[in-house]
Structure 1
């Protein structure tokens, strides 16, 4: 479903150019959930944004469903296949647009018919119900806003979702609800996920495989079972797993 080969992403121009991603390579199979992990600044979200067309300064090759992407634009066919869910659900929703307006606009842009029925179905799919249809973002909790953002992404009936830290801005009590919702949606709709997270427990719960990033490079691609067992091949991976296990006081 997704192939990334020899991907370089940079910001600015020489001599001030910053190379954010260097030579990244991985593949994500149809129906798979693949994670990108690493510390802040390692290039995880930059890869997602390059795929989504939000960063034009990249080289290498990105293929979605076998079709190479151009560096400078994304057409309607791309957005019918690929959608992105951002980290901050409040910032990604227009504060003056109701839930109905947000979903109706997306459906119309995708050329969908039966707008009313589709909005009702989308709200049901993300566990909100139709009573939320005419509410505004400020009338929703963080978890409810993220459910609307997920519904908006699903409106195009995509096959690949790019998930950029989709629960990190939410209260801990709500995070599990959103992760379980995403897992259910993946199963029900046959979706493929590329998920960025700094939380290894989230990736361990959601993903089948993952790539570990450090300083813009992928240092290791591993099965999630190896992550859960702490079996990292690279020293950095083992350090990351140990750090995620938390602080243990000396005896």
Structure 2
């Protein structure tokens, strides 16, 4: 069974003459345990797809199914959020500035109906490479990489099977990006997670993903494997252009 099926997805903002079609007729599937990338230039609709999946955008049509279970409208129940969690681009904006790490994680755990909250917080912090000393710190006391580790821990608190990753390293210093990517790689293996990752950086996608879709102006232009990406085996002119623009970076794959 696929973890995620998306078919004929359309997402828009506004109405009538003010309507903007952000995503048009997109379809793809992601197998259980797979890491799938969405790439394209800014404004291509990549992040909009993730937001429609997770229920942050109400104005969409088409079919979205998680583990064969179809979702509708904007409402997502607890069962959905125990299966699907999202990690956002800006780790500072996604954390409440007046909530300590302990409060962020404990509230999430209780919201998901988890018991043994203290023990689970300690385990989550260890799993993302933060010790117990970070538990009672506030976001302003953390570096960008540490904040993103907390955001990842919050996403893992529900014990999800699918993580939606919206440019999870683009707001971080280059020196920290590789650490977060390596953490995500380890977590996927240890927890048998499925990823859908949005990035404008082809080297990140080549490093992290098994397959990818190339987006342009809200439409899916092409799907390929990362082996095809590295081999410059794109079929469409636009995908070939993207690969050519990233030529120097793809040789290195991603920072290690």
TM-score (norm 2): 0.96
Written as runs of structure 1 = structure 2, the 5 A alignment for 1:159-198 is 159-198=161-200
Helix, strand or coil at the partner of 1:15:
helix
Determine the structure 1 residue equivalent to 2:130. Answer: 128
Q: Give the paired residue count.
A: 247
1:109-151 per-position Cα deviation (integer Å, ceiling 9, x unaligned)? 0000000000000000000011100000000000000000000
State the match for 1:85 in structure 2: 87
Match of residue 154, structure 1, among 131, 153, 156: 156
1:1-251 matches, within 5 Å, as: 1-245=3-247
Q: In 1, distance between residues paired with 2:247 and 2:107?
A: 43
Structure 1 residues not aligned, in runs of 5+ = none
With normalisation by structure 1, the TM-score equals 0.97
CA displacement 1:18-65 (0-9 Å, x = unmatched): 000000000000000000000000000000000010000000000000
Q: Secondary structure at the match of 2:146?
A: helix
Distance 1:6 1:107 in 2: 35
Per-residue CA deviations over 1:179-207 (Å, capped at 9, x if unaligned) read 00000000000000000000000000000
CA contact (8 A) 2:8 2:27 kept: yes
DSSP 3-state at the match of 1:168: coil
User: Per-residue deviation at 1:229?
Assistant: 1.3
Which 5+ residue runs of structure 2 have no aligned equivalent? Answer: 250-256
Q: What is the deviation of 1:246?
A: 5.1
Q: Using the alignment, how far apart are the partners of 1:231 and 1:144 within structure 2?
A: 37
Q: CA RMSD in A?
A: 0.8
CA distance in 2, matches of 1:10, 1:228: 33
